[in-house]
Amino acid sequence: MQPFPLPEPGWGTGSGVNNMEENQYTTLNLGPTHPATHGIFQNVLTMDGEQIIDADQTIGYIHRAFEKIAERRPYYQITPLTDRLNYCSSPINNIGWHMTVEKLLGVKTTKRVDYMRIILMELARITDHLICNSVIGVDSGALTGFIYVFQEREKVYEIYEEVSGARLTTNMGRIGGFERDLSLKAVKKIREFLDHLPKVLREFEKLLMRNRIFMDRTIGVGPISGERALNYGFTGPNLRAAGVDYDVRVTTPYSSYDDFEFTIPLGTQGDTYDRFCVRQQELWESIGLVRNALENLPEGSFHVDVPQFYLPPKEDVYSKMEALIWHFKIVMGEIDVPAGEVYHSVEGGNGELGFYLVSDGGRTPYRLHFRRPGFIYYQAYPEMIRGGVLSDAILTMSSMNVIAGELDA
Amino acid sequence: MENSFIIDKIYKAFNQDILKMDTASDILSFTVASPVIYEVIRFLKENENMNFGFLTDLCGIHYPDRGLPFGVVYHLHNLRENKRIRIKTFVTLGNPYLPTVTDLFSSANWMERETYDFYGIIFEGHPNLKRILNVEYMDFFPMRKEYPLEDPTREDKDDRYFGR
């Protein structure tokens, strides 16, 4: 990055230096901690008056070297690292990681585990989309919707709390299933949430969807064609808004997603409004999925029998020799994992979240690479905002759902 | 799209440059010689029978004990037929050069920068090959295996305790 040029002597005094006739560009430093960017992103914009000519991105402000740390951690200790990738939908990351390890081990989960996972992953998708869409509202000047749907997000966090004990960085589930079954209270909370959310969503949509001001601010803002989006590695709602029907849940069904019927909404223009609408429609689909999975939740065990990875219940540890041994071995990280390599991906809140795991037979991964969707599609940002104005650039960024934790890993 | 079809086509086009093939793991994988990596990726993307038009992932890997220690792993995806493929290539420490694929996939830009940042693999022809997640004045490549995560003076954290 170039150092910013200092203003020349006489600048701003009307003496003719730097006036518009000489057509000099202004450099505008947007970020790293700008109140409108919701995270730590720096963009050095080259502006011609109010028009953006180019943008130079700097990322890595909260880089925490997760991939390096993961090379020295036993598998169950990597789950908390994945929490901190896309922290708006941590359960998807946690469960995605567990499924990657299960794929490496060749473990087949029970239907009950699969359905519980679908319930939690879809709830996570709901929070993720709620935040993103309401923030689009905030950035276009409508704070009300944001405050309103945050109440619903709070309810989902209470469900997480009931299931895993944590709220934001959930560390949910275990390799092989869940640490405990869905409690009656959790089921009741999910039902209450499902009953209440449609009313809120309808009201939220009434506020923004056909709002003249909102439409004027978002239609045609930050567009990208389907072809360019594919070339830039877009996935998730951003790609679908550009009209490409790629969804990991459908193309490579995991966790029994193929048992359910749901629609994949598509946009046509790939602009901010389409991204908003696609997410909004996905919210409705997610509600249907959670409801379906909850109604058809099969009987059975909430975990599978993988004693090398699944911590035994505490009362067994105190009374049974074998459970004590496994408990000790797991906690001390003394479990050897078979050698192999595997790529597993799940449909995260903002795109295809992939885990490329290479094991050499040791107790920790030899190499673990996270395919973070935000990291890959954020590089298209300069192309999307070129020629627009600054306030549109802010709106484009929030509609892309770039999460700093995931971007910088 | 059958595995055998892809294997057939790839061997026909790059016979002696395919060093290894792996059909046992989850995704069909090939290890190819580093001079032809660009040609292989372009063949997979542009050949009308292949159509692997989506670069899912690109990352580095380091095997310090091997003759060719530095690897780059490409994951490609044919979205129409929903087929994934994994291509690997390896280079030496003294000559860590690979051609860039940024002209085929815009998404490779940052992924190659990340690989350079962490492993020091230099992608020739890359438009802006500089560090991306680490600070610019860093003078080593932190994901290489010779950099331990812990304080190197500690003796209680050697590889034996991690099963190696």
Q: What DSSP string runs through A212-280?
A: HHHHHHHTTSS---HHHHHHTT--HHHHHHTT----HHHHS--TTGGGS-------SS-SHHHHHHHHH
Both tokens assigned to A49: 């008056």
Written as six digits, the tokens of A139 are: 């950035």
Residues A244, B79: C-beta atoms closer than 8 Å:
yes
Beta bridge partners of B58: B74
Give the pLDDT confidence score for residue B151 in this predicted structure: 67
Pair of tokens at residue A136:
């689009």
Residue B160 has pLDDT above 80, yes or no: no
Min Cα distance A249 → chain B (Å) is 12
> Among the residues of chain B, which ranges form H helices?
3-13, 37-46, 108-119
Nearest to B110 among A68, A103, A379 (CB): A379
The strand pairing partners of B90, in sequence order, are B71
Kindly identify which residue of chain B lies nearest to residue A368, measuring between CA atoms: B61
Beta-strand (E) ranges in A79-151? none
Angle (CA) A232 A236 A240, round 5°? 85
pLDDT tens for each residue of A276-288:
999 999 999 999 9
CB-neighbour burial class of residue B2 (10 A; exposed 0-12, middle 13-18, buried 19+): exposed
| Distance in Å from the first CA to the final CA of chain B | 39
Verify whether the Cβ–Cβ distance A362 to B164 is below 8 Å: yes
Nearest CA in chain A to B84: A343
Superfamily of domain A66-408: Cytochrome-c3 Hydrogenase, chain B (1.10.645.10)
The dihedrals phi and psi of A176, each to the nearest 5 degrees, come to 105, -5
* A230 to B54: CB separation less than 8 angstroms, yes or no: yes
Three-state SS letters, A336-401: CCCCEEEEEEEECCCCEEEEEEEECCCCCCCEEEEECHHHHHHHHHHHHHCCCEHHHHHHHHHHHC
Q: Are B25 and A340 an interchain contact pair (Cβ–Cβ within 8 Å)?
A: yes
ipTM: 0.93
Interchain proximity B26–A103, CB inside 8 Å: yes
CATH number where B13 lies:
3.30.460.80
Round to whole Å and give the CA distance between A330 and A334.
Answer: 6
Q: What's the pLDDT score for residue A14?
A: 47
Mean pLDDT of B140-146: 91
B54, B81, B117: which to substitute to probe chain A, counting the most A Cβ within 10 Å?
B54
CA distance A394 to A16: 32
Cis check: omega of the bond before A313, within 30 degrees of 0? no
Return the amino acid letter for A226: G
Cβ atoms B84, A354 nearer than 8 A: no
pTM of the model: 0.92
Per CB-CB distance under 8 Å, the chain A contacts of B82 are 251-252
Q: Return d(Cα A289, Cα A261) in angstroms, integer.
A: 8
Tell me whether residues A336 and B163 touch, CB distance under 8 A: yes
The radius of gyration of chain A's CA atoms, rounded to the nearest angstrom, is 23
User: Looking up tokens 């070339």, which residue turns up?
Assistant: A231
Beta-carbon contacts below 8 Å between A and B:
98
Q: Which secondary-structure segment (H or E) carries A43?
A: strand A42-48
CA distance B11 to chain A (A): 23
Residue in B with minimal Cα distance to A377: B107
Residue A35: predicted pLDDT: 81
Kindly list the residues from chain A whose CB atom is less than 8 angstroms away from the CB atom of residue B110: 375-376, 378-379
Q: Do A231 and B26 touch (CB under 8 A)?
A: no
B164/A354 Cβ within 8 A: no
Interface list for chain B against chain A, based on CB atoms closer than 8 Å: 25-27, 53-57, 59, 61-62, 73, 75, 79, 82, 84, 86, 105-107, 109-111, 114, 118, 132-135, 142-143, 149-150, 157, 162-164
Nearest CA in chain B to A232: B107
Residue B78 resides in a domain: yes
Would residue B152 count as lying in a domain? no
pLDDT, position B89:
96
pLDDT at B164: 65
Domain that holds residue B63: 3-94
Please give the average per-residue pLDDT across B8-16, as a whole number. Answer: 90
Distance between CA atoms of residues A247 and A392, nearest Å: 28
Residue B40, in any domain of the structure: yes
CA distance B9 to chain A (A): 24
The segment with the largest mean pLDDT, out of B41-50, B142-151, B155-164, is B41-50
Q: Select from B103, B87, B108 the least CA-distant residue to B40.
A: B87
CB contact under 8 A, B79 and A375: no
Q: Do A60 and B132 touch (CB under 8 A)?
A: yes
pLDDT digits (tens, 9 = 90+) for B82-132: 999 999 999 999 999 999 999 999 999 999 999 999 999 999 999 999 999
How far does B14 lie from chain A, in Å, by closest CA? 24
Q: Please, which residues bridge with residue A352 across strands?
A: A347
Residues of chain A contacting residue B163, judged by C-beta atoms under 8 Å apart:
334, 336, 361-364
Q: Which of A59, A345, A367 sits opposite B133 (nearest CB)?
A: A59
In this complex, the residue of B55, B59, B82 whose CB is nearest that of residue A233 is B55
Give the integer Cα–Cα distance in Å for A321 and A283. Answer: 47
Instruction: Show residues of chain B in contact with A367, CB under 8 Å.
Output: 59, 61-62
Q: Which of A51, A101, A108 is nearest to A78 (CA)?
A: A101
> Which residues have CB under 8 Å from A244's CB, separation 6+?
A226, A229, A230, A234, A266, B79
In-domain check, residue B64: yes
Token pair of A102, please?
């299960």
Q: A246–B79: do the CB atoms touch at under 8 Å?
A: yes
Residue B27 lies in a domain: yes
Which residue type sits at A66? F
Report which secondary-structure segment, H or E, holds A205. Answer: helix A184-208
**Per-residue confidence (pLDDT) for residue A258, from 0 to 100:** 93
Give the mean model confidence (pLDDT) for residues B139-146: 91
Low-confidence ranges of chain A (pLDDT < 50): 12-19
For residues B95 and B142, give the distance between their C-alpha atoms in angstroms, rounded to a whole number: 18
Nearest to A86 by CA among A211, A181, A170: A170
Q: Is the dihedral of CA B136, B138, B144, B150 positive or negative?
A: negative
Q: What is the pLDDT of residues B14-62, one digit of tens each?
A: 988 999 999 888 899 999 999 999 999 999 999 988 899 999 999 999 9
B69: in domain: yes
Q: Which pLDDT value is given to residue B148?
A: 78
Per DSSP, the three-state class of A114 is helix
CB-based contact A228 B27, cutoff 8 Å = no
Domain ranges, ordered by start, for chain A: 66-408
Distance of CA A326 to the CA centre of its chain: 34
Which residue from A231, A369, A408 is facing B133, i.e. has the nearest CB? A408
Domain count, chain B: 1
Asked whether residue B152 carries a pLDDT value surpassing 70, the answer given is: no
